[in-house]
A = this chain, B = another copy of it.
Amino acid sequence: MSHRPIVTLTTDFGTNDHFVGAIKGVILDIVPEAAIVDISHAVQAFDVLDGALAISQAYSYFPNGTIHMVVVDPGVGTTRRPILASSDGYHFVAPDNGVLSMVYAREERIRVRHITSEHYFRQPVSSTFHARDVFAPVAAYLAKMVDSHKFGDEIEDYVRFAAPKPKATGEGRLRAVVLKVDRFGNLITNVTPEDAPALFAAGSAGFKIVVGSREITEVRTAYAEGAPGEVFGVLGSMGYLEIVANRAAAAQITGAGKGSEVSIFLGEAAAAGKGA
């Protein structure tokens, strides 16, 4: 079977404008045999952390050799660098603003290059649309098997931020946060089973989770396991505690949203804790 390169797109461009169409045209003009796959174009506008979360949750399901283009780029046209990050399995083309931070955290070996190879860019380069003029052609030439070292030199000082982790705030107490609200109104927290194993242990009790206006004392395994109007926890497919409701939006019921605090009380703290 012939080589059929895959290029994925993760951006905050939305799909109401011509932006994504122009990007796909540029890629297909260079590498017409490519399969272009949208991961999401609905990253929150200008929100680098939201983009970091989106790509980190999707990239690893793709075949080895996939090229992931990730453009959440409020600094387009300034001195922020375009970069090419290469792990054993994937290439990532992105602005150097931290949008790959959660990829760096998961990939043990990664080389990051500052893209300086202007002869691969579309000319003239618009100062407001590097996705079309810089990132798309670089992704396309990677898909044509141009060697990564031809795009620029390796750098070590690339931008990365630590994903927010739950913080211990006392004996048996954790303060976590809602990372995002998904399409169903589920509240995706930043709590993993490692942070609080007791929440996910079979038959566990003696904990309390406070989010918005609600106290939660149950963690179950499926969305459908709740009574109407009940809010409870689930270990979601992203690997995080989710606060959910059965066929309803937990975000609406609790009044919580992206960035809301999640207070967790374990053991005796759960018995003693009053609200948050």
Q: Which of A19-27, A106-114, A265-273 contacts B (4 or more CB under 8 A)?
A: A19-27
Q: State the interface size on chain A (CB cutoff 8 A).
A: 73
Contact of A223 among B2, B36, B128 (CB under 8 A): B128
Indicate whether A32 sits within 8 Å of B126 (C-beta atoms), given known contacts A41-B15, A74-B223. no
* A128–B53 CA distance with the chains assembled, in angstroms: 18
Contact of A28 among B40, B63, B237 (CB under 8 A): B63
**Cross-chain contact B54 with A247 (CB below 8 angstroms):** no
Interface centre among A6, A18, A57 (most CB of B within 10 A): A18
A229-276 at interface with B (beta carbon < 8 Å): 234-238, 242, 246-247
Indicate whether A4 sits within 8 Å of B33 (C-beta atoms), given known contacts A128-B236, A236-B128. yes
Indicate whether A38 reaches chain B with its CB closer than 8 angstroms.
Answer: yes
* A55–B15 CA distance with the chains assembled, in angstroms: 13
**Cross-chain contact B35 with A28 (CB below 8 angstroms):** yes
Indicate whether A10 reaches chain B with its CB closer than 8 angstroms.
Answer: yes
Indicate whether A147 reaches chain B with its CB closer than 8 angstroms.
Answer: no
**Cross-chain contact B222 with A127 (CB below 8 angstroms):** yes
**Cross-chain contact A25 with B62 (CB below 8 angstroms):** yes
CB distance from A75 to the nearest CB of B (A): 5
**Closest residue of B by beta carbon distance from A234:** B128
Contact of A222 among B20, B77, B184, B247 (CB under 8 A): B77
**Cross-chain contact B22 with A40 (CB below 8 angstroms):** no
CB distance from A33 to the nearest CB of B (A): 6
Can you list 19 A-B pairs with a CB-CB distance of less than 8 A? A15-B42, A16-B183, A19-B182, A21-B39, A22-B61, A25-B61, A25-B62, A25-B66, A26-B61, A28-B62, A29-B61, A46-B184, A61-B132, A74-B224, A74-B246, A75-B224, A76-B224, A128-B237, A129-B237
Chain A residues proximal to chain B, CB less than 8 Å: 1-2, 4, 6, 8, 10, 12-22, 24-26, 28-29, 32-33, 35-42, 45-46, 53-55, 57-63, 66, 74-78, 126-129, 132-133, 180, 182-184, 221-225, 234-238, 242, 246-247
Q: Which 6 A-B pairs have the closest CB atoms?
A: A77-B222, A25-B61, A21-B39, A129-B237, A14-B183, A21-B58
